[in-house]
Structure formats: structure tokens, C-alpha cells
Amino acid sequence: MEAAERAGVRVAHEPLEACERAAAGGVALVIDGLTGIGATGPLRSRAAALVAPLRAAGRRGARPFRVVAVDLPSGTGVDDGAVAGPVLAADLSITFTCLKGAHLLPPAAGLCGRVEVADLGLPLPADPDAILVSRPADSELGRLLRVPGDTDHKYTRGVVGLWAGSRAYPGAAVLTASAAVRTGAGMVRLAAPQRVEDLVVAHRPEVVLASGRCQAAVIGPGTDPADIMRGAELDAVLMDLLGQHDDSYSSCSVSPGSRPAVIDAGALLLLAERLRGGARCAPTHVLTPHAGEAAALLTTLGASISRTEVEAAPAACALDLARLTGGTVVLKGAPTLIAGPVSPAAPSGSSPEFSEPPESPESSAGSSGHAALRLLSVNAGPGWLATAGSGDVLAGILGAVLAAAQSEAERGGPAVAVSDCAALAVRLHAVAAELASGCRRPSSGRPLAALDLADQLPRACATVGGWAA
């Protein structure tokens, strides 16, 4: 305090008056240091009273002052990102040594603003009971993107099998197929109703309607719950994927078990019924729910929960879904969370499969006795992504990334973590949105449509892959 006074800082001994003056526009900067990283739960009554006039001054960007949080906004859960009471949203959070859960996990992450880490030269903390989360850098993820060589052909670049679209939602198949093609898939095969196939081929003549082998499947975009026949077709595909063979329907062949697959939209509830009957996903099966779909999945699997509860504790829900299903979960949101099992690499001589990296302190989900899980937080891009068809585009990107990685593994290349593939897909989706919307900073940009995202995917690949000139 003495050092602050020597630097010219005026110390107010009536803090409530100072907060009210700031709210009225009499202060340019508010530094939030009410609580430290050892505090838990909501702000106590006195601290909450100080925050109240500042919160009432308006939203971040519209209020007459800026807020810098020391470590994290007071009242947020340092490890789990929980928000149990009123919190003053920061424009900038300056934390020390490393990022905390609050900076990476919603809902707290949305209150931190820009986050900067000050290195104090201290060792990283190790708390085995905390939910540990990491955020891979674009430079790391970009290494998963491969520039094709002279000897590559369409089959080595990855073949995506797509079960998307319905009579009610034919456009979903156009969006998913376009995204897979523009992300670099060597081939996209489509199995859909005739009207959907005609529409897709009119927009994307590269798409193949003939059956054949694929290296990753995308199942469910544009599913109409009222279309019983289409639902039965998708259910048969899921049965094959889960090893519960059903010869009543076949198109693109999908190897059962560990073959990579994206299970999206309406296929998620079909999957839940299969899981409730005793089936289990492989780590290579990527589930892509938003909060509402996650709540429905968890409820079907016996953990009754509402969408609001998922939004309040998304990290715990993503981890629960990964435990209950055995698959890799991409819980869509801001940020998007990815939870997946850590499994050993395929033994020598076995068929090439995806594998997660060995367990490490950074990827442990704690000492609960469950199989080790890895949790990632990924910046999912600007709010302009909140538009119809955005999720269909993400599903197509996921399919292309997984197919390319599976093709590489089948040819003796390195095994690739499914979670990292999912994180790469989320970042490509986000960067494409930034390019399509012109969004370079918060509260900027312009509206976009889902096809705009697909059109920007080649540039997004070049940007994340480091190929951009």
C-alpha cells in the first residue's frame, strides 16, 4: 500500500464510495483483487456489495471503466470455472506461473477477458484432486495437418463416409460434405435419401454416392426425429459401428469398434439408447453435443440433469459423458471442451488404430478411481458462429481430420490422439469463422452464413498449419 501511495495512487478508505464513483464514470481503471486463488464459493456479503455498483454500470465494453483482475475475477472457481454468485467481468486478467481452470473452463472463462500469464519462476502446482485442463496452441495442432506429397492420392488423403441430411433438413448434408471437402478429404461418400443426394451433388459434384470403404464416418447431421425410416438406417449404422452387426442396411462400410466416427445431432439420442442397452463407444468415437444434447444424453444414461445444470458445470458434465460412454466428447460452447479416455497405443503387429498419449500429471482427471481422462479447452471462435448449420460444418471438419489421421496410421505413420484431432477441428472451425466474419477482436466483425465457413476452410488450414504466406 505504501508503494502504491508513493507511485501516486490515492487510497480510498471508503471503498464503497470509490466503487460508486467508478460506476458513475469518475474512474478509468478498476483493479479487482478482492479474493485470491485460495477463495472458494460466492463473494461474501461485503465484497458482493462493492461489486454491485460496478456490475450495474453496464456490460464489458460499454461501461465507463476497464477492469483488470489479479489472477482471476473474484468469485470464480479457480479449478472448476464455477460461478456461484455475482462476478465483475474483467477486460484483462493477469495470472501468475500458469493458467488456472477459471481461465479455461466456462462459465468463468467468459468473465476473464484477455488473459496474460506473468512468469514468476515458480514451480507448477500439482493438486491431484483438481480437474486439470490444458489448451493446446495452434502451432501444436497445426502439426497434425499434412501437406500431401507427390505419391499421395485420394485414398491416402482420407475417405469420409457421410450419413447426413433428411427430407426435412437436406441442407445439413450440403454443409457437412462441403466442410469435409474443403478441409482436404481425399473423397467424401454420401448415403442419404434421394432428394438429399441430388441436392448435395448439385452443390458438390466431387461427392461420391457409390458405397465403399471409408476411414472415418460422420453420422447424424440433419437428422429428422420424425423420419422413422431414416432413423432406422442411422441406427443400423451405429449398430455396425458398435459391433452389434445388422445386415438390414449398408452403404459405405464402417469397420466396427475403433474405426473413427463422428456422432452428431440426432444420432446422439439413437446412440444413447444403444449405450443404455449395454453397448460402449471406443475412444475413436467422437460425440459432439451442445449443452441441451449433453443433458439429454446424460439423462438417458441415468444421470438426470438439465441444460442449465450442464451450462453451470460443463467440465464435470463432459468428463461424466466420456466416462459413461467410453468415447471422446466435444461439448460445444464458448470455449468448447474436449474430454476423452487416455488409452495405450496399439500393440506391435495389431491393426493401426488411434491412441491417446500415456497418462501424465497434465492430463489426469484426478484420483477418483475412474479411467484416466484428458480434458482440453479450445477457443471456439467468435459469437458470429451462432447460426444455423454451423454445427454441420464442424462435423464435416472433424470427419476430414479424423480420416486423414486414420489414413496416416494405416500406412505406418504415428498414432494420433483423438482429442488433439478434435481440438484441431474446433480451431479450424473457429479460424474459418474469424476469416468469414472479419472478426479480429471482441465486439467486431460481420454476420456470416454456414457456407461462408466452408468456403474459408482452405485459408483456415493454411493459417493453423503455418502455410500462409
Binding site for (6S)-NADPHX, residues? Answer: 172, 222, 290, 392
Beta strand 92-96 pairing with 66-70: parallel
The number of angstroms, rounded, from the C-alpha of 460 to the middle of its chain's C-alpha atoms is 17
Binding site residue list for AMP: 332-336, 391
Spatial neighbors of 425 by CB under 8 A, at least 6 apart, are 394, 397, 398, 401
Q: Exposure of 208 by Cβ count < 10 A (0-12 exposed, 13-18 middle, 19+ buried)?
A: middle
The label of the residue with cell 438406417 reads: 233
Binding site residue list: 172, 222, 290, 332-336, 391-392
The label of the residue with cell 487416455 reads: 342
What SS3 string covers the chain? Answer: CHHHHHCCCCCCCCHHHHHHHHHCCCCCEEEECCCCCCCCCCCCHHHHHHHHHHHCCCCCCCCCCEEEEECCCCCECCCCCCECCCCCCCCEEEEECCCCHHHHCCCHHHHCCEEEEECCCCCCCCCCCCCCCECCCHHHHHCCCCCCCCCCCCCCCCEEEEECCCCCCCHHHHHHHHHHHHCCCCEEEECCCHHHHHHHHHHCCCCECCCCECCEEEECCCCCCCCHHHHHHHHHHHHHHCCCCCCCCCCCECCCCCCCEEECCHHHHHHHHHHHCCCCCCCCEEECCCHHHHHHHHHHCCCCCCHHHHHHCHHHHHHHHHHHHCCEEEECCCCEEEEEECCCCCCCCCCCCCCCCCCCCCCCCCCCCCCCEEEEEECCCCHHHCCCCHHHHHHHHHHHHHHHHHHHHHCCCCCCCHHHHHHHHHHHHHHHHHHHHCCCCCCCCCCCCHHHHHHHHHHHHHHHHCCCC
Round to whole Å and give the CA distance between 217 and 340: 18
- Is the backbone peptide bond immediately before 107 cis, with ω within 30 degrees of 0? yes
Beta strand 373-378 pairing with 261-263: unpaired
